[in-house]
Amino acid sequence: ALGRSIAGCPAVGDSARDLAAARAAGARPILVRTGNGSATAAGLTEPVETYADLAAVADALLGESAGSPGIRT
């Protein structure tokens, strides 16, 4: 709507619907195990970037922006 693409932008969620929406938009799907995330992870049929919680995602993304790889938990 704003004429901008979100291709490759992180899209964090805890449900299969969240991940599907991220993929459909061309975003980078990231699953957190909080909320419904653990149940979602158990039912996944393809790999997805997964972190323990939102703080872990933030740490990883900040690490990427500083030039170092993120840490997965």
From first to last of its 73 residues, the chain has per-residue pLDDT tens of 578 889 999 999 999 999 999 999 999 999 999 999 999 999 999 999 999 999 999 999 998 876 655 445 4
- Classify burial at 3, counting beta carbons within 10 Å of its beta carbon; exposed 0-12, middle 13-18, buried 19 or more: exposed
Q: What are phi and psi of 55, to 5 degrees?
A: -60, -40
Could you tell me the CA-to-CA distances from 53 to 6, 25, 36 in Å, in that order? 22, 23, 11
